[in-house]
Chain A
Amino acid sequence: MFESFILPVFRVSAPLILAALGGMWCERSGIVQIGLEGFMLVGSFFGAVVTLSTLNPYTGFLIAGLSGMLLAVLYGVVVLRYRADQIVAGTAINLFAMGVPPFFSKIWYDSTGSTPPIPTAAQFQVAPLWITLGVIISSIIIFHYSRFGLRLRFSGEHPEALQSAGVSVRLKRWQGILIAGFLAGLAGGTLSTYLSSSFIRNMSAGRGFIALAAVILGKWRPIPTVLACLLFGVTEIAQIRLQGVTLWGSEPVPVQWIQILPYLITIIVLAGAVGRSNAPKALGNS
C-alpha cells in the first residue's frame, strides 16, 4: 500500500503542495497570487540548469527557489510599489515566465526550451519529499502558533488593525509574496530535478493553477490545502494507472475524462456552499 500508492501520490503531490502553501501564505497576506505558474516554470528551469552545471541537486534546488523568488520581486514591485491590478500583473508574470526558459536555453544549450538530461549521479533520491514534509509541518506550526503567522493573517483580514498596532502591512505582504515565489520555485525544482531528469518546455503545465485551486478548496488553511493537493495527486496517479485499462464495455477509459477531473471537482466545490466567503477579507485590495 505504502510503496504502491501512498508514496507515488505523495511524489506527484509534492510540487503541488509546495506551490499551494506558497500561494496560501501570499493570499493570506491579502495579495492574490495568479503567478504561481510562472514562478514554478522559472524555478524548474533554473533548478535544472544549476544542477547540470554544479552536479549538486541541492544547489540546484535552492536556486530554483531563489529564481522563483526573484520573479516574485518583480511582481511585488509592480503590485505593491506601483499598485498594478494583482490579477493582471499575475497574468503578465505568467506570460513573461513562458518566455524566460526558451530565451536562456537558446543561448546556453542552443535548444528551443529544454535542458540536456541531468546525469543520474546528480539526481535526487528522496530529499525533496523530506523538504516538502518539513515545509508542511513548519507551515502548519507557523500559521497557527506564531506571531509572524498571526500578523500575516491579519494583514489579509484587517490591515487597518495591523497598521494601527504599528506593524507594517506592506512588509507582511512583501513577505507573503516572497514566500510564494520561493516555495513555488522549489515546486518547480521538484519537477525538473526530482520527478524527471531534465527541464522540458512548459514543464509546469498548469500545476500552478491547480495549486491555486487547492488553496481555495482548502479554504486558505494549511492542512485542508495539503489534503486538496493530495486529492489532485490521486487523480494524477489514477490518470497514469488507468491508461489503456478497460473498466466497462470494450473501450479503454479515455485519459481525457480523468484529466479534467481535478478541475471539475474544483468548480463543483467552489459552486457548492462550502467554498463560499472564506477568502481573506482584504484579498485583492491594496
Chain B
Amino acid sequence: MRLFKSSLKSIAGVVLGLSLGMVVCYFAGESPWKVLKVLFQSSFGSGYDFGMTLFYTAPLMLTGLAVSLPFRAGLFNIGGEGQLMMGALAAASAGVLWKDPHSPVVAILFATGLAFLAGGIWGAIPGVLKAKRGSHEVITTIMMNFIAAGITSYVTLYVIKDPNSAQAESIPLPEIFHLKPFAIFNGAPMGYLIFVLIAVVLIVHYWLWNSVRGYELKVVGENELAAETYGISKQKSWIFSMFLAGGFAGLVGVVEILGNAHRFKLGFSADYGFVGIAVALLARGNILGIIPSALLFGILQKGAGSLDLETEKVTRDLTYIIQGLIILGVAAEGLYERKVKPRVDKKAAKNV
C-alpha cells in the first residue's frame, strides 16, 4: 500500500511537471501535442532510436543508484558528475596502462574495475570527510565535482592527449576494449550491457533488503540514534555507501568509453550526474523504481535532440525546464496531502 501510494505520488509529479512543460510550450507558440509526438517518436520510432534511448537510460540508472544508495544512509550525493568523470577517465586510461590484455573479457573487466575504483574513491572522500570531520557532504561533493572537472581536463590535455587529434580528447582505446552493440539497434551504441546494468540494479535491491550491511545502512539512514544504540557504526555505513555510489557513477565510464566514444572527450556527459538526482528522487529511494525512472529521463534526453530539428520554437533545453518541474512536482510533499480542516473557532484560535 505504501509502495502504491508513493508511486502514485511519483506519477502525479511526472504528470504535473510534463503538463507545466507543455503549457510553457504552448506559450512559446509551439503545439504541445507536436512536442509530445516528437519526444515519443524520436525515442521509440526505430531500432536506432530505441537503442539511443537505452544508451541515455543506462548512465542514468547508474547515477540514479549513486544518489539513491547514500540517500538510504541519510546522505545526499550531489557528486555523481565528478564521480562519473573520474570513472570515465580511468576507463579511458585503461588502454594506456595495459596495451595488450590478450582477451577482450580481461580487457573489459580490467577497465570496468578501474572505472569502479576511481569513481568509488572519488565518492568515498566526501564520505570519509563526513564521517571523520563532520563536513557536510552536499558542499564537499559539489566541490569534488569541480576538482574532478579540473583533473580530467588536465589529464586529457596533457597526460593522455591524442597527438593525432586537434580536439580535446584522449588516446583512443585499442579494439580489444570495445563493447559490441546489438545489430538491431542499427549503430546505436548499446548491447548486452543494458541487461548487465538492469541486473546490477536488481542485485543492489536484493543486497539492500537481504544483507546485514544493507540493513545497517538503512537503519543509519532512518534513525541515527537507534543505529548507535544497537552498535551500528554510522561512519562505516556512510563511507561504504558513498564508495559504492561513486563506483556505480564511475561505471558510466564503461557505458560511454568502452561502449561509445572509445576515448575520453571533454564535456561528454549530458549532466548525467545531476539528472541522476531527478531519477533517484522520482524513484523515491526505491532501488527498483530507478529502472522506469531512468527510462523516463532517458526518453526526455533522447527526445530533446529531435526538438532542435523538428520544432521551430523550442530547443533541447526545454528538457531542463521539464526535469526541474518534475523534481519540484515530486518533491512538493504538501501537494498530495488532503487538508483536514481543524474544527476550531477561528477567532478563538487566534487569541490563544
Contact = CB atoms under 8 A, between A and B. Distances in A.
Interface of A: 34, 74, 78, 81-85, 87-89, 91-100, 102-103, 106-107, 112-113, 206, 209, 212-213, 216, 254, 256-257, 259-260, 263-264, 266-267, 270-272, 275-277, 279
A270 B140 CA distance: 8
B223 interface: no
A88 B277 contact: yes
A81 B334 CA distance: 7
B150 A99 contact: no
A260 B325 contact: no
A95 B323 contact: yes
A107 B331 contact: no
A206 B328 CA distance: 21
Contacts of A213: 139, 142-143
8 contacts: A82-B334, A84-B328, A88-B327, A94-B324, A98-B317, A103-B321, A216-B136, A267-B143
Most buried by B among A96, A112, A213: A96
B317 A99 contact: yes
B99 interface: no
Tell me whether chain B's interface is mostly helix, strand or loop, or mixed.
helix
Interface in B130-173: 133-136, 138-140, 142-144, 146-147, 150-151, 153-154, 157-158
Nearest to B321: A99
Contacts of B12: none
Interface residues of B, number: 48
Tell me whether chain A's interface is mostly helix, strand or loop, or mixed.
helix
The 10 closest A-B pairs by CB, nearest first: A96-B324, A99-B320, A82-B334, A82-B332, A92-B327, A102-B317, A99-B321, A260-B150, A84-B331, A256-B154
A272 B327 CA distance: 34
Contacts of B140: 267, 270-271
Interface of B: 24, 28-29, 76, 78, 129, 133-136, 138-140, 142-144, 146-147, 150-151, 153-154, 157-158, 274-275, 277-278, 281, 313-315, 317-325, 327-328, 331-335
A253 B325 CA distance: 43
Contact of B331 (A88, A112, A276): A88
Given A89-B331, A98-B317, A213-B142, 12 more contacts: A83-B332, A89-B328, A92-B323, A95-B324, A96-B321, A103-B317, A112-B315, A209-B142, A259-B150, A260-B151, A264-B143, A266-B139
B319 A99 contact: yes
Contacts of A259: 146, 150
